Structure formats: structure tokens, C-alpha cells
Amino acid sequence: MLYNISKIFVLILMMVLYGLMPANAQSDITASKGIIDFRNTDFSQPIRLKVDGEWEFYWKKLYNPAFFDTTSNTDPRFVNFPSNWIDYKEQYPEITLKGYATFRLRILVPTQKKVPMALKVAVANSAGRLYINGVLVSEVGVVDSIAENVIPAKQPQIIDLPIDADTLDFVYQLASQHEYLGGAWPGFMIGNTATIHRHRQMFLEFDLFLLGAIMIMALYHLGLFLSRPKDKSTLYFALFCLLIAGRTLVTSERYILTLWPDASFYLQLRVEFLFLYLSPLVFTAFIHHILPSDLPKKVLRIIAIISAPFILIGLIGSSYNFTMVLRTFQIFMLTIGVYIIGVLILAAIRRREGIIILITGFAIFLFTFVNDVLYAMQLIKTFFLISFGLFFFIFSQAYLLSVRFSKSYTQSEELTKQLAFINENLEGLVKERTSEIEQQKEELRAQSESLIEAMNEIQKQKDELQRMNKQMRSSIQYASRIQNAVLPTEVWLQKLLPSSFIFWRPRDIVSGDFYWSRVSDNYLHIVVADCTGHGVPGAFVSLLGISYLNELVRKNTFEEPGTVLENMRQMVKQSFSQDEAIIRAKDGMDMAYCSINMNTLELRFAGANNPVFIVRNQELTVLKPTRNPIGTYRKELSFDTQSFQLLEEDMLYLFSDGYYDQVNSRYEKFKVNRFKQLLIDISQDKPETQKKRITENFESWCNQMQQVDDVLVIGLKVNRM
């Protein structure tokens, strides 16, 4: 249905435009070299002809008709009339945007079948004075060669022409100092008196009709807004109508001069341009409020920001300034129009209510706007159509409004019927509803009792779990005390090597990382190990590793570090050999074993996946391990013993992989290279300072992230005992 109505809108527009189209059977007649020949034209027909073409042109001259009567050789220039000064600059570069000039044209009219004729005088862009056959017939404003003396005015006029003359000699003086696009535009029209007057009366009546229709719509929508302020679309549509109505008064036939003959040129021009600069912003706000999800608010803000300078110029700028930016603003308006077409198409795709009518009305309005811009720029030869476009757009909105009210009324009727039905059957409905509520109440009571029983059972289970957790935590804390008891203390290690530190941080209460140390025959034996797993399982394996090392001590078998690791591997394999599944799980440990001759400072090292770092003068050396764990492995390699000559003040670091495997808040690992650089940076500090920096760096890196593994770092500064 909406599609059919949109076709009706287009059909009505075509009919109206056809009815208003000027009869112009001989529109191809134009002036040449200052003369236009209408002698073969039948002016008894209802035609209106433009007197366009080549007029004589005298720049910076205000010649009276007497001048042409007394001067035989005027040496005229010829320009296309009507046009603006700016269009003559290519032909005559000395022409400026402000100035004055005299135009002259001789019209040859029929000598037979004379009829009363009239001339529609153009609205001059500032001030104009017209002589016909030496008689002053029209003066709009004050024409003068001195800019300060020029008084601009805009006044459409119809002048009756001499009926007995065979030639009409037009001398037109024009002074334009107050508008950017100075010059003569849109020109003159000639025809029989009845046709000229009828045409002006027809357009004046249409302007009045349009003005009345727009004002009615504005007041109606304003009333809707006052009754329902929540819907701001009615307010913006009312404001848009008021802007268009105000502009209608000061354009076209300028009806304001009928109501207020003394209305000044500046007031007319300011209203014309200020209302124009406000219209796109208000119209876009209207579209935003009826299609908020299709036209975002940020686009409306952008349009408001761009419109603000134009509006400011229209408010406080001079007439020259706000006419100068007109063409830029027309491009801006056209861009907005294209964007809104896109918004309306998107809304149509989303099947918004009444969108077809809205698209049709706006498309007609946009078409007439483009026509007027091109006509004003003298690119096409039509006439101003914007009033018709506005009328059809407003008419489409009125139709949409009636559709919405019709639907609202229908819904209101349906609700009224439902309410009447409810009132008639209220008692029965109340009883039925009360019965349902009682039934639901009983069901809820039964469910509540079941929930209470379930909650009591859950509470009992929670209490039992808390008791078991407390017992388990107490047991683990006791296991932690046992683990701490079997590990050498940092104080004991510092008695042997005063310049040493231990940074040990279990992930849970107990740890799978452990360290071990003994002194035998001037040899310091020190071990750092990382057992499979962490927490309680890792702690059990760590106790097993400490037990094996202590057993080797009792046997007095301090041999080469590689041999010690081989013995450890055999003992671990024997311990876990009872369960094939455990063997496949590769339970065991990684270990770094260092044996240091405290007299010669020779270091003997063997490693099972764990290296050691030596920092000397801020250069780091890595003693690489054998790539095998202490435990079962698919391809077992022998643990080799390496020798390294230490020097006093060297820093020896033993560690597990927990420090550099820790992740930060971005889930990045600390990594080995960053760990190496940290050890180089702290290597020359005192041991207690080194431990403090290692601790602070670790806590900063974690940044409230959970610790992922047990962490152990031991640092020894080498000195002879």
C-alpha cells in the first residue's frame, strides 16, 4: 500500500510541475550583439520569453539613455545576460566581485497585431535602475559609483511596456557591493500583460498556500511535542517547518514586502541565509529522532560542528560574508542529502515502519534542491522547484502522521475491548487467578521444604569438608616443618660462605624444589634439585632425594659429581620400579651438583637438566647439564663431570626453572635470557642486597598473578676458607 501511495506522490508532483511549466514556444530566441528580435513572435499567446543573450556591457560606467543618443561610437563589450560578475572574469580579467556597470539591449517587437505587454524585472543582486526608451521605469535601491552610497534592495516588479513602440531600448544600471555573487540574476521576462501578471499571481498564491500549509504543520507538530515532550522528532520537524516558512517569506515573490513594505535588504538577506544554514542541522536531528539506530548521534554531532561556523556567519557576519560561503554550504547540504538517502535505504532494508513514504518524500525534496542549486549556478535552464519539493515532503510526513495515529487509534480500540472484557469477567478471572496462586503457593511451600532439607545436608557436608581441610592443612604444615628441618639453613651456609644467600619460595605450603649441602675434606658439596610436581607429591620426592644424598654421605662415597648423579639415578629407578605406570610417568628430579675445592677453588660440576651460572666481572658463563633427568628416561645418557677454575669474588648461581617460568599479567614468561641479565646486574651487590632485588623483581613480575611453580635460587660468592 505504501508503495502505491509513493507512486501517487510522484504522479501528483509531475502534474503540478507540468501545470506550472512556463509556456515558451520560442525559447530559443536570444540576443545577439545587443539586439533581440521578437518581431515574428505572437505575444497574444500565453507565452513568457526570457530576454537573455549578448547584451552591451560597460564596466565601471553608469550611462544614462541620453549618453547613447548623443554618442555614436560607444565601443561596447558584449556579455551573456543574466549572469554574475564572477562569470565575466575569464572574458574580462579586470572585473572584480564588487562594482557597477551599465547593460544595454534593444528589443525588436512586432509591428502588427500589437497587444499590451509587460516585463517581469529580476531581483537585482544589490541595486538596479532600468530605463526603457529613455524613461526611468524601475529603481530598486540606490545605484551609485561610490560604494558607500549604494543602498541595496530586493523588490520584484512588473512593468507595463509602451504599446506603440516598435523597438524597446533597455538601459540597465546595476551596482553590487553587498553580495559575493554580484551581477544581474535571474534576468527579465517579457510577455503579454495578462500572462505576466497571471504567472506572478500564480506563484504568489502558491507561496501563500505553501506558507499556510507549512505553518499549520509546524503548529500541529509543536502542539504534539508540548503534549508529549518525550518524542523530540515532532519538535525538530516543527522547527524545520518554521525555518522553511520564514525563508519562503523572503524568497521567490518576497511576500514579506506585501506584509511589511519597509523590510530592509539586510533583514531579508540574513533571514534567507541564516535559516538556510540552520535547516540541514535541524532536519538531520529530525531524522535521527525517528531513526535513532540508523542515524547515529555522533554523525549528528559532526554535522552540528560543521554547521556551527556557517550559522555564526549568518548571525553576525556581513551580507558579503554569508553569501560568499553559500556554494561551499550547498556542497555540504548535498553531502548530507546523499548520506540521509543512504540512511533511509538502510532503514528500508531493516523494514522500518513508513520508510517508503519517507524515502519518496525526501527523494523529491532532494531532487528539487539539486535542481535549484544547478539553476542558481546557471548550469541548467529550468526554474526554482524547492517550494514544490518541500510541499510534497511535508505532505508525506502528514500522511505518515495520520497512519501512525490511525494505528494508535486502532490499538486503543483493541485495548478498550480487552479492558471491557476484563471488567465483565473480572470476578471469575480473580477467582481463577486466586486458585492458581494458591496452587503455586502450595508447590512453592513443598519446594521450600525440600530446599531447606537440601541446604541442611549441604551445610553438614560443608562442615565436614572444612574439618577435613583443616586436618589436611595442619598435616601439610607439619610436613612443611619436617621439610624445613631436613634442609640446611641459610645461616649454616653463610657460616661456610659468608657471602651467600638462598631465595626459596614454594608454590604451595611444601615444595618440590630442595637444596642440600655438606662439607668433606675441604670440599663444599652443594646441590639444587627440582623434583617432579610440586606441593605434597613434589615434597615427598624431595624428601626421598635428600634421603638418598644422606645415605651416600653415610657410605662416605663423595665421588665425582657425575658418579653421584649416576648412583642417584639407580636409587630412584629402584624406588619406582614396583609400578610400571610410575616408570612411564618419568618420576624423578632435575639436579645440579657442585663440588668446590675450597683451597684451590676448583669447581667440579655435573647436571641433570639443571645448569649453573658463573658471573665474573659481569660476564656470565654457563656450565651446561646432561639432557637427562635423574630417573627413568627413554634414552639414558651418562652424567659427565665438568671442571672449572673459579676465582675469588666469582658469583656461582644454582637454581630451579621456577623463576624464569613465572608468567606476568600478560601471560609472558620471565625467560632464561632475562634471568641471566638480572644475575649479571646484581652480581656485584652484597648477598643480602642480591636476595632483596631477586625477591622484589619476582613479586613485581608476578603482579598479583598466581605463582606457577616452586622457586629456588642460591647464590655463592667464591672465597677461600
Confidence of residue 19 (pLDDT cuts 50, 70, 90): very low
**pTM (2 decimals)?**
0.55
Confidence of residue 26 (pLDDT cuts 50, 70, 90): very low
Checking if the pLDDT of 523 tops 50, the result is yes
Checking if the pLDDT of 519 tops 70, the result is yes
The stretch 205-216 carries a mean pLDDT of 86
The stretch 137-155 carries a mean pLDDT of 90
Which of 96-110, 354-368, 576-590 tops mean pLDDT?
Answer: 96-110
- Nearest in space to 372 (alpha carbons), one of 363, 362, 382: 382
Q: What is the pLDDT of residue 111?
A: 84
Checking if the pLDDT of 411 tops 90, the result is no
Checking if the pLDDT of 705 tops 90, the result is no
Confidence of residue 485 (pLDDT cuts 50, 70, 90): low
pLDDT in tens, 33-54: 999 999 999 888 888 899 999 9
Q: What is the pLDDT of residue 12?
A: 45
Number of other CB atoms surrounding residue 7 within 10 Å: 10
Range name among 69-73, 129-133, 660-664 with the lowest pLDDT average: 69-73
Checking if the pLDDT of 349 tops 80, the result is yes
Counted residue by residue, the chain has a size of: 721
Q: What is the pLDDT of residue 6?
A: 43
Spatial strand order of the sheet with 612-616 comes to: 500-505, 711-717, 651-655, 612-616, 619-623
Question: For a pLDDT cut of 70, what percent of the chain falls above it?
Answer: 89
Checking if the pLDDT of 379 tops 60, the result is yes
Range name among 164-168, 169-173, 555-559, 656-660 with the lowest pLDDT average: 555-559
The burial class, CB within 10 Å (0-12 / 13-18 / 19+), for 533 is middle
pLDDT, mean over the chain: 85
Dihedral pair phi/psi, residue 622, rounded to 5°: -110, 125
CA–CA separation, 156 and 189 (whole Å)? 12
Q: What is the pLDDT of residue 556?
A: 64
Confidence of residue 1 (pLDDT cuts 50, 70, 90): very low
Q: What is the pLDDT of residue 672?
A: 95
618 touches 600 (CB < 8 A): no
- Cβ-Cβ contacts under 8 Å for 613 (sequence gap 6 or more): 620, 621, 622, 623, 652, 653, 655, 676, 679
Confidence of residue 376 (pLDDT cuts 50, 70, 90): low
Confidence of residue 491 (pLDDT cuts 50, 70, 90): confident
